[in-house]
Structure 1
Amino acid sequence: MSATTLTDGRPDTRSAVPARRRKPLRSRAYKVFRVVMLILVVIVFIAPLAWMLLASFKTNVDIYDAGKSIIFSPTWENYNNVLGRNNYFQFIFNSFWVAFCSTALSLVLGVPAAYAMSRFTMHRSALVVLMARIIPGVSLLVPWYYVFSNMRLVGGFSVLILSHMFVALPLIVYIMMSFFDSMPLELEESAQVDGLTAIGAFSRITLPLSVGGIATAGILSFIFSWNNFMFALVLSGAHTKTLPVAIFNFVSYASIDWGGLMAAAVVVTIPIMVIALFTQKYIVTGLTAGATKG
């Protein structure tokens, strides 16, 4: 008897049956593993947010009580303390104004700069931008404070906007350079053949086609500015505090108001989550621009 036939001449298919069954089993096991890992990742990211949201409706006594982790008597006192007594609407406006101005000015300066670096292969300038992205902004706080204090700008909105632009501007240039690199140069050449100048081709052809990248760069810049704590802690004043700095008021030398702290954290987090939810399409489009170039 051979390895593939039986004594009566029929082919031996017994060894092929396990091989055919093995593949569906492996595929099913992989799907189960993928679902389990996805659930674990979601739990890891969602659990802190869920705890923060629940803690914002608890008193400090309930927060320390492990038996009341899920079942407890909710209270609105923390939100009344945040939004009513501590004038957090002013801090929300300060955060929005600083983030909006720094993002808008960075876009006005960064988009043309990224276009010039991309089209004219300005490698040294791109290296300077990359260096600015690498240098931690915290290392510049002391020189900034010394310079701006001598200029009597510390405590105003202008110094906060300028300090946030130091990080936002390289980020926007870095993203937009990759986006412009992925766009075909033939579109601009065709526009110039039709009579447009280089600036006209940029403003009428390239700029409208790069809306996805501009939206991505602007959104990420706005999120950075909204969440920034260290710059505002050192450079802001009593009337220009942003939300992350205002949250620090719930931490005192002797104790921490965890309920108020969690309520303030929810107030900070919700606007960014809403922005990310409605603009995720632009973020994914802009971050993947240029990934398949070449």
Structure 2
Amino acid sequence: MTAIVTNPPLSERKGLPAKRRRRRGVYPIVRVIALILIVLLFILPLVWMVIASLKNNVDIYDASKTIIFTPTLENYANVLSRNNYFVFIFNSFWVAFASTVLSLILGVPAAYAMSRFTMHKSALVVLLARIIPGVSLLVPWYFIFANLRLVGGFGVLILSHMFVALPLIVYIMISFFDSLPLELEEQAQVDGLTPIGAFLRTTLPLSVPGIATASILSFIFSWNNFMFALVLSGAHTKTLPVAIFNFVSYASIDWGSLMAASVVVTVPIMIIALFTQKYIVSGLTAGATKG
């Protein structure tokens, strides 16, 4: 049997290219508008924060001085010198650095084992640990660490941040190791290396983009974490997000200093994300095309 092909009416054939041309003309406009809205949604709060950090409290409440005002650095002087925020910056950096390094030391070999030996149940447990909200563990943690007299020290902060950083690193690195061919390690073992040696000399150097991604995301989480540090830190181990609350009192809020402190917290992470974005993208998409 031969199929009968019927041509559409001439009006429909003429109208189809016109519709396509209209769609091609509309879609770029929609994309540009959507992109502008998304950029404004994320940029405007940051711009307002920076502008407010250069105003005194009177100018912040004055709507006529939203754009035109006399800038001042008094808020930054108040934050960095009078309130000794360099100590809080060091505390945040030390907790973020230590929790990230320890999580990498434990998480990278664990992710390698789960990937190469197809430990799907263990990977599921790691994923569940990543999903569990941290606030549900704060009360048990505080009870245990308080009885051990560890509350207020750096150790308890580092351990609490590792609870989130370690599953994150394992989850990212499992996908990255899955994307690396097993033949490279087999060839290294044929050349005389042990399985551990093949991992250290072949697989680990190739996994640098994934390690960089996991490290950056873990560091950013720890730097921005507020809840764990609020409950478990002490007067000498207070981190930046908790220290910002020094400008919030029962009767009033020092908005200028609060915005200046927020800029101090935000700018380092924005710089890190800006210069390491290629590692983040390459690491997160490493296992996307596998198979």
TM-score (norm 1): 0.93
SS at match of 2:252: coil
Residue aligning to 2:4: none
Alignment deviations for residues 182-240 of structure 1 (CA, whole Å, 9 cap, x no partner): 11111111111111110011001100000000000000000000000011111111111
Distance 2:136 2:191 in 1: 50
Distance 1:256 1:93 in 2: 25
Is 1:233 aligned to 2:230, yes or no? yes
Give the letter for the 2:127 counterpart: L
Distance 1:157 1:178 in 2: 32
Which of the numbers 7, 22, 36 marks the counterpart of 1:39?
A: 36
Is 1:250 aligned to 2:260, yes or no? no
Distance 2:182 2:276 in 1: 28
Point out the structure with max Rg over C-alpha.
Answer: 1
Which of the numbers 27, 32, 46 marks the counterpart of 1:30?
A: 27
Is 1:91 aligned to 2:88, yes or no? yes
Residue aligning to 1:108: 105
Which stretches in structure 1 are left out of the alignment for 5+ residues?
A: 5-12
Distance 2:155 2:11 in 1: 80
Which of the numbers 179, 195, 201 marks the counterpart of 2:176?
A: 179
Residue aligning to 1:216: 213
Distance 1:130 1:211 in 2: 22
Which of the numbers 152, 166, 169 marks the counterpart of 1:169?
A: 166
Is 1:145 aligned to 2:142, yes or no? yes
Distance 2:278 2:58 in 1: 42
Is 1:66 aligned to 2:74, yes or no? no
Distance 1:15 1:236 in 2: 71
Is 1:206 aligned to 2:203, yes or no? yes
Q: CA deviation at 1:21?
A: 4.4
Distance 2:221 2:184 in 1: 33
Distance 2:120 2:19 in 1: 54
Give the letter for the 1:35 counterpart: V
Residue aligning to 1:263: 260
Give the letter for the 2:57 counterpart: N
Residue aligning to 1:126: 123
Q: CA deviation at 1:23?
A: 2.9
Give the letter for the 2:220 counterpart: I
Residue aligning to 2:3: none
* Fraction of identical pairs, as percent: 78
Q: Which moved more, 1:240-249 or 1:123-132?
A: 123-132
Q: Which moved more, 1:144-153 or 1:102-111?
A: 144-153
Distance 1:154 1:17 in 2: 76
Q: CA deviation at 1:115?
A: 0.2
Give the letter for the 2:269 counterpart: I
Is 1:274 aligned to 2:268, yes or no? no
Q: CA deviation at 1:19?
A: 4.5
The CA RMSD measured in Å over matched residues stands at 1.6
Give the letter for the 2:154 counterpart: F
Distance 2:26 2:165 in 1: 45
Distance 1:56 1:86 in 2: 16
Aligned length: 284
Distance 2:270 2:12 in 1: 55
Which stretches in structure 2 are left out of the alignment for 5+ residues?
A: 1-6
